[in-house]
Structure formats: C-alpha cells, structure tokens
Amino acid sequence: MILSAMSERSSQTRDLVNLPYPDRQTAGQALAGLLGDFRDKTDVIILALPRGGVPVAKEISSALGAPLDLLLVQKVGLPGHEELAMGAIASNNIMVWNKAIRGKIKTGSSEIDSAIRKARNELQRRKETYRGHRPEPELKNRIVILVDDGVATGATMRAAIDAVRLQQPERIIVAVPVAPPDTVDLLRETADEIVCPATPEPFYGVAEWYLDFAQLTDEAVRELLHAVSAEGTDRPGK
C-alpha cells in the first residue's frame, strides 16, 4: 500500500489516513480536514456525484459551512462488463470516453449505442428523482468542490469537470478519498486542484478501500440532502 499527498493540504494530514476507510462518512471527514481553507467562504459550493459521493460531500458541507448540491453524471458501462466505465455522460450532453478501454472494445456499434442510451435514461431519471423542479445551482465565478467516494478510471469525474467548466467557475477542485495515482495525474490536467489523501497501488476498484461500501438508495440520497438543507437553515444568519 502506498499513501501519498496530492496537494499541500494532503501532506499536512496524510498520516491520519488509514485504509480501508470504515465508511463514506469517515472518508468525508478526512477530506473535510484537508479543505479547511474554504470554511465559511460565501463563494464555495460542494457538488456531490450521486449516489456514493453524497454522504462524503455531506460531511464536507457540514464542516465547511458550504451549500451542497448535486452534479449528475452517469457512467457508460462496457457491454457485458457494466461495472467497468468505458465513458461517462453529464448534463449538456457532455460525453467523455475512457480511451484506454474504448480502444479495446470489439462489440458492435449497436451495443455501444444501447449503453449510451441506457446511461442517458438513467441520468434523466436521477434528475427527476433528486432535483425535481428545483433549479440547478449557479456556478459562475464560484469555487466548485466536486466530490465522489473515489475514482477508478476517472471517466465519470472528467465528465463532471467538463460540465462544470462550461459554467465558468472561478476554480474547480476535485476532492476524493482514494484514487489510483495515474488517474489523479489525468484529472490534474483538467481540474484546478486535486485533493486525494490516498493513492494506493495496485488499485482494482474503489470498493476495496472501504469496510462498508453498501449501495445507497435514492431515498437515502434525498434524506442526506434534506439533512444538509436543515443544517443550513439552523446556521446563524440563515
């Protein structure tokens, strides 16, 4: 196992990071400790990638006193191996391909089209389920912290970065508890900063670095968002 710092913030507390994480909440608390410079800043917004990124982002939002919202991105699974991302799709019809995997695909174009269509349908379903009629947040000139429970190939996060970049934020910071070193290097090319306290090798998947990596339900996501909204209402000056 190799633990390494991805930024100055990471290097300050990397000795506190032990793998595997007990759960997503603990991972979020570890990340929050590296993002203290952004506490109580009015131009900061936390965007979680559901579902797994939401409990991680909730801990960050609570610690920083920053609003939490969602960035909807859907993985495009490799036909026959759906857990493996050959790409990802985000709002504004942004599509990012994992070139290393896409170049090895031998399936017919109809299977790829079907996978993309499935991802778009799920993206729309999540939008209706999680957001409903609530408008998307304004990101222009804001510091956006993108949060997930980890990244493997990085395709989903790259789609998220591209979607946010279109809205002209001041900065985009990717905050994830764990990722392989080469993916962190890849994300650094498009994000303004990466905060990732653990980059173990070899890396076979995000789930192996958690003791509890249970799938979240749609209802659990809604409950977490409601809890953050209630916290914001209770803060002084709200």
User: How high is the pLDDT of residue 104?
Assistant: 64
The whole-number average pLDDT for the span 8-34 is 77
User: Among positive and negative, which fits the CA dihedral 118, 122, 128, 134?
Assistant: negative
User: How high is the pLDDT of residue 236?
Assistant: 46
Owning domain of residue 189: 8-72+136-234
If one counts the domains in the chain, the total is 1
Q: How many residues are there in the chain?
A: 238
> Could you give the 3-state DSSP secondary structure of residue 144?
strand
User: How high is the pLDDT of residue 103?
Assistant: 65
pLDDT of 212 strictly over 90? yes
pLDDT of 13 strictly over 70? no
Task: Report CA 193 to chain centroid distance, whole Å.
Answer: 14
**Residue in this structure with the two tokens 């709200």, named with its chain if needed:** 238
Task: Tell me the CATH number at 171.
Answer: 3.40.50.2020
Output the six-digit token pair for 23: 């759960």
pLDDT of 6 strictly over 50? no
The reply to whether 154 falls in a domain is: yes
Label residue 111 by pLDDT band (50, 70, 90). Answer: confident
The pairing of beta strand 193-195 with beta strand 143-147: unpaired
b vs e for 34-68, b when ≥16 Cβ sit within 10 Å of the residue's Cβ?
bbeebeeeeebbbbbbbbbbbbbbbbbbbbbbbbb
Across the chain, what does the average pLDDT equal?
86
The reply to whether 77 falls in a domain is: no
pLDDT of 14 strictly over 60? no
**Residue in this structure with the two tokens 């790259």, named with its chain if needed:** 158
C-beta of residue 164 within 8 angstroms of C-beta of residue 74: no
C-beta atoms surrounding 25 within 10 Å: 14
∠ CA(232), CA(237), CA(238), 5° rounding?
Answer: 35
∠ CA(84), CA(86), CA(90), 5° rounding?
Answer: 110
pLDDT of 178 strictly over 50? yes
The reply to whether 101 falls in a domain is: no
Output the six-digit token pair for 7: 């930024």
The reply to whether 78 falls in a domain is: no
Taking only the tens place, the pLDDT of each residue in 85-107 is 788 898 777 888 877 776 666 65
pLDDT of 122 strictly over 70? yes
* pLDDT over 70 percentage in the chain: 87
The reply to whether 81 falls in a domain is: no
C-beta atoms surrounding 122 within 10 Å: 15
The reply to whether 119 falls in a domain is: no
The reply to whether 161 falls in a domain is: yes
